[in-house]
């Protein structure tokens, strides 16, 4: 009987010891963590999304994935610019657009810089530098696979935005996905072409997509928007 109790005591000791060992080795994730090709921010093991402040700087994390954003993006009707390290730019001018103390783009009609869109070469440079577009034939391509798009199984359907033509006379855009990240990038392109009027143009595109009409043309701000519904949430847009 004594021997049996000794065995039970030993087993209990091992179980308790093992449990204590697991507790001692448990870790809490806090701060920045790089995974899946992007940066994420954790607080007490919880993935943060939206706006966060860290070391006196503001960052914006994708509401769906928590991935740190860079470049131009729109939030609650205001445009912001996030530097390459993700920090929000403020009290400065980025590509002719002035950002106030709160980081939001300050629109003005008194400056000719704000009253006109960018040239094709400027748009191309901005998209490649800030939005990770890559050269694609005569146009540009936005893909989560970057420059390796040619080797992607599934090909074209995995792309986000394809620009088949871009010059000072016209830009042809093919929107292939409807996720929030692709939508923000598309709005940023519209904001470059139609400063301070991107929301109006985006509304035209949304109304067209929900109308069930296969194609239509619209006049807006001295330009012609030709829209074509390619099915499967694809939309072809020509702006001249």
- Shared domain for 171 and 215, answered yes or no, is yes
User: Residue 209: its pLDDT value, please?
Assistant: 78
CA 136 to chain centre: 20
User: Residue 8: its pLDDT value, please?
Assistant: 43
- Shared domain for 98 and 165, answered yes or no, is no
- Shared domain for 80 and 169, answered yes or no, is no
Which of 115, 131, 163 corresponds to the end of one domain? 115
What is the span of the domain harbouring residue 31? 27-115
Angle 86-92-95 (CA atoms, 0-180°, nearest 5)?
Answer: 80
Is residue 155 in a domain?
A: yes
Which of 115, 135, 153 corresponds to the end of one domain? 115
User: Residue 75: its pLDDT value, please?
Assistant: 87
Nearest alpha-carbon partner for 240 in 119, 230, 118, 226: 226
> Is a pLDDT exceeding 90 seen at residue 50?
yes
Query: Domain total for the chain?
Result: 2
Give the tens place of pLDDT for each residue, 206-227. Answer: 888 777 777 888 877 777 878 8
25 is written with which tokens? Answer: 């080795």
Is residue 17 in a domain?
A: no
Q: How far apart are CA 179 and CA 187, in angstroms?
A: 12
- Shared domain for 72 and 122, answered yes or no, is no
Give the tens place of pLDDT for each residue, 100-148. Answer: 888 888 764 333 333 346 677 777 887 777 777 777 666 676 765 555 5
Helix residue ranges per DSSP H, 52-197? 112-115, 120-130, 180-193
- Shared domain for 110 and 144, answered yes or no, is no
Residue 184 CB-density burial (10 A; 0-12 exposed, 13-18 middle, 19+ buried) = middle
- Shared domain for 121 and 238, answered yes or no, is yes
- Shared domain for 229 and 201, answered yes or no, is yes
Which of 115, 131, 156 corresponds to the end of one domain? 115
4 is written with which tokens? Answer: 């049996």
User: Residue 110: its pLDDT value, please?
Assistant: 35
The CATH number covering residue 93 comes to: 2.10.270.10
């Amino acid at each position: 009987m004594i021997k049996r109790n000794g065995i039970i005591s030993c087993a209990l000791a091992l179980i308790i010891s093992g449990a204590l060992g697991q507790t001692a080795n448990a870790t809490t994730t806090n701060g920045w963590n790089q995974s899946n090709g992007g940066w994420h921010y954790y607080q007490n093991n919880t993935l943060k999304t939206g706006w966060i402040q860290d070391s006196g700087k503001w960052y914006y994390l994708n509401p769906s994935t928590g991935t740190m954003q860079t470049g131009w993006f729109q939030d609650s009707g205001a445009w912001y610019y996030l530097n390459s390290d993700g920090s929000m730019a403020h009290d400065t001018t980025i590509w002719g657009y002035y950002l106030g103390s709160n980081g939001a783009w300050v629109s003005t009609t008194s400056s000719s810089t704000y009253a006109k869109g960018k040239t094709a070469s400027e748009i191309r440079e901005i998209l490649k530098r800030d939005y990770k577009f890559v050269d694609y034939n005569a146009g540009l391509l936005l893909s989560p696979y970057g420059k390796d798009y040619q080797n992607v199984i599934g090909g074209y359907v995995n792309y986000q935005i394809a620009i088949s033509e871009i010059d000072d006379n016209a830009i042809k855009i093919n929107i292939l996905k409807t996720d929030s990240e692709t939508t923000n990038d598309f709005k940023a392109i519209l904001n470059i072409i139609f400063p301070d009027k991107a929301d109006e143009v985006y509304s035209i595109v949304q109304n067209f997509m929900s109308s069930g009409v296969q194609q239509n043309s619209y006049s807006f701000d001295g330009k012609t928007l030709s829209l074509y519904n390619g099915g499967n949430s694809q939309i072809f847009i020509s702006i001249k």
